[in-house]
Structure 1
Amino acid sequence: MPATVRPATLADAPAVTDLLNAVDLIEIGRPETDLHTVEADLKHPEADLERDSWLAFEGGELVSYGLLWDESGGERIDVDHYVLPDHQQAGFDVLGSMEARALEKARANGAERAVVHLHLNVRPTTDTARLRERGWKDVRRYHVLHRPLDGAVDLPPAPPEGVRIRPCTTEADRRLVHRLYQTSFAEHFDFQPRAYEAWLSDIDADGLDWSLVWLATTDDLGDAAFLMSRNDREAMGWIRSIGVLSDARGRGLGGLLLRHAFAAFAALGRDTVGLGVDTSNATGAPELYRRQGMTVHYAVDTWETVLG
């Protein structure tokens, strides 16, 4: 019997969370998906749930989930896709609908083709052989890193002379973090420029503790770096992004901000902190994180297909 497929609603967030945690358990050995993260995804302003989300059920069980959103306004379309390993046909039924919708969205943007990106664990529940047969290919690898914390060891670092770290406390600070983010990430793989209000939605700003976002300032360059973190993941404290302006790289600001974040999370009682990094990052970020004691938790590949 073919799967029953329908759009998702916000009320489906608990069931989707359970599905994603079942996939987590298979792929990384433990559940690491939080309900609020799924709710934030379903509220994405560029996703029309009626047309851009899919739930596939077999025998009343949710076996596959897909979500599509468009941040580029052009040919680049992003999708999330999850499937339980014994329900591949249902998963690929969902994927086929997502591909058709991606091309429709891109053409509505005035593009002739859709360039679609999907992130999958390097050992995913999805049948990657079938994925390749459909024209998908893996184009980039990311590592999710983690590091143990110890409140007796991970103490706040003393900034060098001429450097100051401050929390993000005002609206002006938030806008500054946005500008630093847009500038420092502009040349990174898959970067999509975002206006301030759209960026706030991207980072789930309503659920963000801004006291865990810090700015680094130097006497000669002014505000030159930022670190954005969040403490609402059950599995670990999370560093969402860290950016240093090109003129300020090589001066230790990234390491200083990392150690500051480690100390803050340790003081909050967290025993682990994590982050994600592009393994081909040209700014030296993977080596920086290695020097700060971070190791690989698991790896994720970006898959791409070109439609049209």
Structure 2
Amino acid sequence: MEIRHPKPADADAIYELVAEHDTRVLGRPDLTPADVRDQLAEPDFDPAADGWLAYDGDRLVGWASARRRGGSDRVDLDVRTRTAEAGTALWELALARFTGVTADIGVYAGDTAQREAVRSRGFEPATSFHRMRIDHEGVASDAFLPGVTVETGSGDDEELLRAAHAVKEEGFAAHFGNVPQTFEEWADARESSSAHDWGQVLVAKVHGVPAAVLVGTNQFVPDENCGYVLTLAVRPAFRGRGLGKLLLRRAFAADRRRGRTGTILQVDSNNTTPALGLYLSAGMRRVLSIDIWQKQL
């Protein structure tokens, strides 16, 4: 067996391996080739140090990654293999990449084999994320609140994007696994993704003061023709005023106008705010659960 680091040209082979794993667990792939290309190009990911491929002859039998979130002590792991030999080797490499950090790995709730793989290596359950979805029907209509204006982002409007970033940072400060980002780090991360669109950033202002932000992307357009809410945050001082639901309804209406069949988002089941209740009240339903397992390295 040969092990080497990945290159951009390996994206399709990695996709086929991960899609095979997803299909075995979910009945369908849960990513696209573009998702893999984006991962290999993320600013926080160095393919020459943070990723590994295992080959048996010409056949790819394993893929692993260990991505540190900025300069933080949080690391996201992923290990997918076709053989036990590849699993043993790649898990060892991934777990040895960083020390003095907290490692997180997502495991589909129904993936018993992967759950046993992480449990046997000392990982423990930390939280779960629910993927929520709403299907769009009828005519799009925007929502309004007295004293609240909603502004749409643009790559040319740095002032509004900086306001969006500031709200995001304050709103997510206490959330699971949150890692603070400078504006430049956040903007670079967004622009490195092929699903990125500054035009899907919405900032709600209460009497002119930035209070809530929604960041949408095209991540689920290629495979599900759905919009995706990557981020929804409300500053603590403005919570309980309906701003989250307002921005959700604005995003739903915009996705309808774009011809999307639905909108998707993901929520921490242990969110510090009653976010799950908000999404259910907005008409969303749970379609998938991913458990986050954690280990100190």
TM-score, with length taken from structure 1 = 0.88
Equivalent position amino acid for 1:270 in 2: R
Q: Does 1:271 align with 2:261?
A: yes
Which residue number corresponds to residue 191 of structure 1?
A: 178
Which residue number corresponds to residue 98 of structure 1?
A: 94
Is the contact made by 2:43 and 2:192 (CA closer than 8 Å) also made in structure 1? no
Deviations 1:48-101 (A, max 9, x none): 2112101122353223211112225353322222234xx243123211101111
Local SS of the residue matching 1:73: coil
Equivalent position amino acid for 1:91 in 2: G
For residues 43 and 136 of structure 1, do their structure 2 counterparts lie closer, same or farther at Cα, with a shift above 3 Å needed?
A: same
For residues 71 and 257 of structure 1, do their structure 2 counterparts lie closer, same or farther at Cα, with a shift above 3 Å needed?
A: same
In structure 1, what is the Cα distance between the partners aligned to 2:153 and 2:262?
A: 23
Runs (4+) off by over 6 Å: none
Aligned with residue 20 of structure 2, among 19, 22, 29: 22
Aligned with residue 215 of structure 1, among 203, 225, 249: 203
Local SS of the residue matching 1:102: coil
TM-score, with length taken from structure 2 = 0.91
> RMSD in angstroms over aligned alpha carbons?
1.9
Identity of counterpart residues, as a percentage? Answer: 30
Is the contact made by 2:42 and 2:193 (CA closer than 8 Å) also made in structure 1? no
- CA-CA distance at 1:193 after TM superposition: 0.7
Alignment of 1:233-244 (within 5 A): 233=220, 234=222, 235=224, 236-244=226-234
Which residue number corresponds to residue 11 of structure 1?
A: 9
Deviations 1:154-196 (A, max 9, x none): x222312211111012111111111111110000011011112
In structure 2, what is the Cα distance between the partners aligned to 1:206 and 1:274?
A: 17
Aligned with residue 65 of structure 2, among 64, 67, 92: 67
Aligned with residue 161 of structure 1, among 146, 160, 169: 146
In structure 1, what is the Cα distance between the partners aligned to 2:271 and 2:213?
A: 17
Is the contact made by 1:26 and 1:125 (CA closer than 8 Å) also made in structure 2? no
Equivalent position amino acid for 2:61 in 1: V
Aligned with residue 144 of structure 1, among 100, 109, 131: 131
In structure 1, what is the Cα distance between the partners aligned to 2:50 and 2:265?
A: 28
Local SS of the residue matching 2:97: helix
For residues 6 and 206 of structure 1, do their structure 2 counterparts lie closer, same or farther at Cα, with a shift above 3 Å needed?
A: closer
Query: Unaligned regions of 5+ residues in structure 2, if any?
Result: none
Equivalent position amino acid for 2:241 in 1: R
In structure 2, what is the Cα distance between the partners aligned to 1:271 and 1:232?
A: 14
- CA-CA distance at 1:126 after TM superposition: 4.2
Equivalent position amino acid for 2:81 in 1: V
For residues 126 and 102 of structure 1, do their structure 2 counterparts lie closer, same or farther at Cα, with a shift above 3 Å needed?
A: farther
Equivalent position amino acid for 1:161 in 2: P
Deviations 1:23-61 (A, max 9, x none): 222222222312222112111222221121011223532
In structure 1, what is the Cα distance between the partners aligned to 2:141 and 2:80?
A: 40
Alignment of 1:124-143 (within 5 A): 124=111, 126-143=113-130
- CA-CA distance at 1:11 after TM superposition: 1.1
In structure 2, what is the Cα distance between the partners aligned to 1:63 and 1:204?
A: 31
In structure 1, what is the Cα distance between the partners aligned to 2:113 and 2:81?
A: 6
Is the contact made by 1:46 and 1:69 (CA closer than 8 Å) also made in structure 2? yes
- CA-CA distance at 1:304 after TM superposition: 1.1
In structure 2, what is the Cα distance between the partners aligned to 1:247 and 1:129?
A: 42
Aligned length: 291
Query: Unaligned regions of 5+ residues in structure 1, if any?
Result: 104-112
